[in-house]
A and B are shown apart, each in its own frame.
Chain A
Amino acid sequence: MSTSSLVPAPILALPWKILLLVSAIAGFGLLILYSAAGARMTWALPQAVRFVVFLTMAIAMSRVHPDRYKMAAFPTYALVLVLLMLVEALGFVGGGAQRWLDLGVIRLQPSELMKPVIVITVAAFYSSLPPAEIRRWNAIWPAALLIGIPWALVLIQPDLGTATMVLAGGMTVMFLAGLPLRLFIGGAAVLAVAGPVAFSFLHEYQQRRVLIFMDPDADPLGAGYHISQSKIAIGSGGLFGKGFLNGTQSHLDYLPEGHTDFIFATMAEEWGLMGGIFLIACFAMVIKWGIGVALDAKDRFARLTAAGLTTTIFFYVAINLMMVMGLAPVVGIPLPLVSYGGSAMLTIMLCLGILMSIERQNVRERRR
């Protein structure tokens, strides 16, 4: 009771648990970036600024009522879809793939925006669908279309990783919305059969990545280099790591992308299994919090959105870690809040902002 007099109520009302958790992850990430840059602030400083800006944005977003997001869902979706098509049309060729839209001030990556947007849109669709319709064909095709179009657009960019995440995010909401289970089981079966067929449609460099993922040591100096070096970094870290600033894999440039996609390996080399457990535990707590928010929510849109966005964060982390540990092909998914770069952080903060908005609403409803 005494604290309330010292600290203003709006600040006290902030979701401190999640904010501290996220800050812990990002703070640890800054340490890793400092080390990866060779004990320099080259990457840590811009990343810190970005984190503060995006976190402020997320807190601001938490003040917006979830219904607003529901209303904004379809227009936003349409806008991002147009941007995606624009990328295709006037796309800027960078890194062998057309992903960026140069708006002068910033380089926008619409596919990144699509990750949270697809969740909100599909959630909005199901929340407006009468419960009786859920087992009908009408409950399936509009959602399939909503997901399928951006998925296809991202896939032809080509960006297998992001396309997969868009698909997974949308499908998760469909699953949570209560579509018959046999659809998903059947879908998985079809996928198992169609997988090899789809493989033949992949770009050559993607095919190679998949094949190398199966056997990274076959060509350790070629394209399997990423996975091999990443495993060496993690494996040589041991239980407690080689010590802060003492990683050789990252500092001697053996580990490629050591500050972006493979930052987990950079971390693991210096902090060992302990550092890894810490990060995984932090992310698990974020996920647990997110699922908790979803379960607490009373409104169907809020529930679906919260669970869907949480799963999007989960996919980010899971795909990145699997890739780094040699359990998934190299698809170019960064580790959220830790990897250097703005796009992924923006996406995660959008997710967190909406999640915090839903939590805020939950608390209010409970008080009522």
Chain B
Amino acid sequence: MSWHSMRRRARPIITESNQAYTFTRRAMVLGGAQGLVAALLAGRMGWISIAENEHYNLLSESNRVQMRLIPPRRGWIVDRTGQPIAINRSDFRVDLIPDRIIDEDRIIFELTRLLELPPEEVERIREELKRAAGYQPVPVAENLDYEKYAAVTVRLPELPGVSPLRSFSRSYPEGAAVGHLVGYVGTPNKQEYEKEDKNPLLITPGFKVGKEGLEKVLEPRLRGRPGAQRVEVTARGKLVRELSTLPDRGGGMLQLTIDAGLQAFAARRLGPESGSVVVIDCLTGDILALASMPAYDPNAFTDGISQKEWKMLSQDERKPLLNKSLNGLYPPGSTFKPMVAMALLRAGIDPEQRVNCPGGFQLGNRFFRCLGRHGSMNMHTAIARSCNTYFYSMGRRAGIDVISAMGKSLGFGQKFDLPVVSQNYGTMPSAEWKKARYERSKKLVERPDWTESDTLNTSIGQGFVIVNPLQLAIMSSRIASGLDIQPHLIREKRAAPKPLPYPKEHFDAVRAGMWEVVNGHGTAGRSKLEVPGVEMGGKTGTAQVRRITGGQRGQSGAWKYRDHGLFVCFAPTAAPRYAASVVIEHGMGGARAAAPVAKDVLTWLYDKPKALASLATFEEQWGGDIKARMEAEARRWDLTNPPRPANGAT
């Protein structure tokens, strides 16, 4: 066989008939392959719809059915008599769901028109829409009147992404008077949302959490449990029908020890001053009033506070954002003396022993001044006349250790178990404290060892001593009742407080001195209660804000350098029931600024019409009640801080 023929055989001639055979064979292969694919597809479909049916059913359901949380109604806060302090009122609101918006500009334009949104609000909504993540609703407007709400509701089909809602918003009938006490609620922020493991309730439109005060601390008790509504929705979020609803469970009602009437009266009575009034039931420790003024109106925060309002609050030198009752720290001045007197008695000093006051006390080459030349003083007259010389002299004899221990025992330097955001507990100095303090920082303390002049300063409530108004009220109640009073804000059944481990005669001696202050020959004689059968015992205090320089004694000059006026008291002296502290920042004197407030506040407890009549006279002079004055102040603020003109204005 030749090479040539070999090649020929390797490449057979293809005829029409074997081409037809190839076609038949290949067409059958092709048909078979197609049949195989058909079988494969049927099998695949069977797998998805039978084997994975349950899985996909679930997914289909979760597509179709959406849980809509119903925010629980927040628990009410009521006072000791059941009078409301924080309640919920019905509210109409409109939100935007960023994911569902089609044509943002048109929607915002429409809403601006329908709801008459101010330009700064439109700006805020645009900003928030930019930052908003997916489903998180952006609030457009709250507290709408029904007409505006209805105007949006009827146009809903042409406003995709707009979500009008009927909800409840927090309301505080007493306004600013309870501001610092209850705090306020607001829309949860990102941190709060993440802290609660992205609890979907927190991004539900209209849901608010406590941001300050009791609202914040008692959030778990007040919140309640959300309800849920199962609804069928389309892919675009349109509601098809409601499937079932699990009702929400409102938060529990919270009853406070506060007397709302007293709280409001105290706040109003503080008037234009910056200060605090704390009233305690000195038999139980129930705090009846914890007023700090000026304060913010918590209702303003509920609706979301405007930048202007915030600026006004944060720039005010009277610090309306600070709860002075708990976080304001002041040198107690002479209001410290009842405690020091207790310490002197504890140290074994005879209350009848006399000290001559020539107008001061010479310690080495330094002369510690008294406010007057009191002559011969015993404990009783020294408290009544507030004689520094007596306390310098006796305090030095007793020594700092006894004073410091008694101070702590009567509440100074202590933090109390209260549902509050923070307490500044100040300083009850001692030798150890000074040493530790020196080691930490040399700014306040110049030398590590305790000196006699430190003791002298401490004895009259100056020097290192700083206290908050609540501690002053606690000292007052412990001395008044002789009980180891612990302050309470929430009304609950509790064991009666235990007596303090000091002899009755000691308390009697100090109380008698405090009686003399108001009812006898004392510093607060003008603030004697005008209630038949009820007498008040007290102690005035005037605390220096800065060291005395030159002849100026903090009785004149710029407001912020003036002395603080303080007063502690209890009543009735015959059988003490109420104890209180009043602090008037830069009020120049306890007798002048603080004692009259205490007098009216205690009068209210026994004779409301009389107290209210006195208040009415004052409010007339001050220019109205708290609300009226705050509004006037806002108008004044607007005048001095005119809003920037809108763009394009010439």
Contact A253 B27, CB 8 Å, known A268-B49, A277-B42, A325-B45: no
B235 & A135 in contact (Cβ 8 Å cutoff): no
* Per-position binary interface string of chain B over residues 36-60, scored 1 when its CB falls under 8 Å from any chain A CB and 0 otherwise: 0110011011101110110111011
Q: Does B19 contact A (CB under 8 A)?
A: yes
State how many angstroms separate the Cβ of B236 from the closest Cβ of chain A: 6
A178 & B26 in contact (Cβ 8 Å cutoff): yes
CB contacts (< 8 Å) of A321 on chain B: these are 41, 45
Of all chain A residues, which has the CB nearest B56? Answer: A235
CB contacts (< 8 Å) of A177 on chain B: these are 23
CB contacts (< 8 Å) of A307 on chain B: these are 23, 27, 30
* A321–B38 CA distance with the chains assembled, in angstroms: 9
Contact A248 B30, CB 8 Å, known A253-B236, A276-B42: no
Contact for B44 among A135, A252, A325, CB less than 8 A: A325
A236 & B30 in contact (Cβ 8 Å cutoff): no
Q: Does A273 contact B (CB under 8 A)?
A: yes
Most buried by A among B23, B37, B236: B23
Of all chain A residues, which has the CB nearest B35? Answer: A284
Contact for B41 among A237, A303, A304, A322, CB less than 8 A: A322
Contact for B19 among A134, A284, A291, CB less than 8 A: A134
* Per-position binary interface string of chain A over residues 122-134, scored 1 when its CB falls under 8 Å from any chain B CB and 0 otherwise: 0000000001101
Contact for A234 among B11, B56, B61, CB less than 8 A: B56
Q: Does A28 contact B (CB under 8 A)?
A: no
* A11–B23 CA distance with the chains assembled, in angstroms: 33
A134 & B14 in contact (Cβ 8 Å cutoff): yes
Contact for B48 among A229, A235, A303, A311, CB less than 8 A: A235
* Per-position binary interface string of chain A over residues 214-254, scored 1 when its CB falls under 8 Å from any chain B CB and 0 otherwise: 00000000000000010111111111000000001100111
CB contacts (< 8 Å) of A311 on chain B: these are 30, 34
Contact count band on B? 35 or more
* A229–B19 CA distance with the chains assembled, in angstroms: 48
A236 & B19 in contact (Cβ 8 Å cutoff): no
Q: Does A327 contact B (CB under 8 A)?
A: yes
CB contacts (< 8 Å) of B60 on chain A: these are 232-233, 235-236, 248-249, 269
Q: Does B150 contact A (CB under 8 A)?
A: no
Contact for A132 among B13, B20, B234, CB less than 8 A: B13
Q: Does A288 contact B (CB under 8 A)?
A: yes
Of all chain A residues, which has the CB nearest B235? Answer: A253
B59 & A236 in contact (Cβ 8 Å cutoff): yes
B56 & A287 in contact (Cβ 8 Å cutoff): no
Q: Does B376 contact A (CB under 8 A)?
A: no
Contact A291 B31, CB 8 Å, known A232-B60, A280-B41: yes
A284 & B38 in contact (Cβ 8 Å cutoff): yes
B23 & A176 in contact (Cβ 8 Å cutoff): yes
CB contacts (< 8 Å) of A254 on chain B: these are 63-64, 234-235
* A322–B37 CA distance with the chains assembled, in angstroms: 10
- The A interface is mostly helix, strand or loop, or mixed, namely helix
State how many angstroms separate the Cβ of A34 from the closest Cβ of chain B: 19
* Per-position binary interface string of chain B over residues 45-89, scored 1 when its CB falls under 8 Å from any chain A CB and 0 otherwise: 110111011011101110110000000000000000000000000
B14 & A300 in contact (Cβ 8 Å cutoff): no
Q: Does A175 contact B (CB under 8 A)?
A: yes
State how many angstroms separate the Cβ of A236 from the closest Cβ of chain B: 4
* A62–B545 CA distance with the chains assembled, in angstroms: 110
Interface residues in A307-352 by Cβ distance below 8 A to B read: 307, 311, 314, 318, 321-322, 325, 327
Most buried by A among B15, B27, B59: B27
B50 & A295 in contact (Cβ 8 Å cutoff): no
Q: Does B103 contact A (CB under 8 A)?
A: no
State how many angstroms separate the Cβ of B9 from the closest Cβ of chain A: 14
Q: Does A272 contact B (CB under 8 A)?
A: yes
CB contacts (< 8 Å) of B64 on chain A: these are 248-249, 252, 254
Contact for A291 among B27, B57, B61, CB less than 8 A: B27
Cross-chain pair count, CB within 8 angstroms: 143
Of all chain A residues, which has the CB nearest B26? Answer: A176
* A135–B14 CA distance with the chains assembled, in angstroms: 9
Contact for B37 among A132, A235, A236, A318, CB less than 8 A: A318
* Per-position binary interface string of chain A over residues 163-179, scored 1 when its CB falls under 8 Å from any chain B CB and 0 otherwise: 00000000010011110
* A235–B48 CA distance with the chains assembled, in angstroms: 5
Of all chain A residues, which has the CB nearest B32? Answer: A291
Contact A295 B30, CB 8 Å, known A248-B60, A277-B42: no
* A178–B22 CA distance with the chains assembled, in angstroms: 6
Of all chain B residues, which has the CB nearest A321? Answer: B41
Of all chain A residues, which has the CB nearest B62? Answer: A232
Q: Does A283 contact B (CB under 8 A)?
A: yes
* A236–B53 CA distance with the chains assembled, in angstroms: 5
State how many angstroms separate the Cβ of B42 from the closest Cβ of chain A: 5
A268 & B16 in contact (Cβ 8 Å cutoff): no
Contact A234 B49, CB 8 Å, known A252-B235, A325-B41, A327-B44: yes
State how many angstroms separate the Cβ of B130 from the closest Cβ of chain A: 20
State how many angstroms separate the Cβ of B589 from the closest Cβ of chain A: 69
Q: Does A294 contact B (CB under 8 A)?
A: yes
CB contacts (< 8 Å) of B20 on chain A: these are 300, 303
Of all chain B residues, which has the CB nearest A285? Answer: B38
Contact for B56 among A236, A253, A294, A314, CB less than 8 A: A236
State how many angstroms separate the Cβ of B102 from the closest Cβ of chain A: 14
Of all chain B residues, which has the CB nearest A126? Answer: B19
B235 & A303 in contact (Cβ 8 Å cutoff): no
A238 & B232 in contact (Cβ 8 Å cutoff): no
* A237–B52 CA distance with the chains assembled, in angstroms: 10
CB contacts (< 8 Å) of A178 on chain B: these are 14, 19, 22-23, 26
Contact A232 B19, CB 8 Å, known A178-B26, A238-B50, A253-B235: no
B44 & A132 in contact (Cβ 8 Å cutoff): no
State how many angstroms separate the Cβ of B309 from the closest Cβ of chain A: 40
Most buried by B among A236, A277, A322: A236
Contact for A318 among B30, B41, B52, CB less than 8 A: B41
Of all chain A residues, which has the CB nearest B22? Answer: A178
State how many angstroms separate the Cβ of A179 from the closest Cβ of chain B: 10
A176 & B27 in contact (Cβ 8 Å cutoff): yes
Contact A235 B49, CB 8 Å, known A132-B14, A252-B64: yes
Interface residues in A162-215 by Cβ distance below 8 A to B read: 172, 175-178
Of all chain A residues, which has the CB nearest B65? Answer: A248
State how many angstroms separate the Cβ of B60 from the closest Cβ of chain A: 4
Contact for B11 among A135, A238, A253, A277, CB less than 8 A: A135
CB contacts (< 8 Å) of B57 on chain A: these are 235-236, 238
Q: Does B314 contact A (CB under 8 A)?
A: no
State how many angstroms separate the Cβ of B583 from the closest Cβ of chain A: 58
B27 & A252 in contact (Cβ 8 Å cutoff): no
Contact for A239 among B28, B50, B56, CB less than 8 A: B50
Q: Does B115 contact A (CB under 8 A)?
A: no
CB contacts (< 8 Å) of B61 on chain A: these are 236
- Beyond contacts A254-B63, A280-B41: 18 other A-B pairs, Cβ-Cβ < 8 A, are A131-B14, A131-B16, A132-B14, A178-B22, A178-B23, A231-B48, A234-B49, A236-B61, A238-B49, A253-B234, A254-B234, A268-B45, A284-B38, A291-B30, A291-B31, A300-B19, A303-B20, A307-B23
CB-CB nearest 3 A-B residue pairs: A235-B56, A236-B60, A291-B31
22 A/B residue pairs, CB under 8 Å, sorted by A? A134-B19, A135-B11, A176-B27, A231-B48, A232-B63, A233-B60, A234-B49, A236-B61, A239-B49, A248-B60, A252-B233, A252-B240, A254-B235, A276-B45, A276-B49, A277-B45, A280-B42, A284-B38, A288-B31, A303-B27, A314-B37, A327-B41
Point out residues on B near A: beta carbons under 8 Å: 11, 13-16, 19-20, 22-24, 26-28, 30-31, 34-35, 37-38, 41-42, 44-46, 48-50, 52-53, 55-57, 59-61, 63-64, 232-236, 240
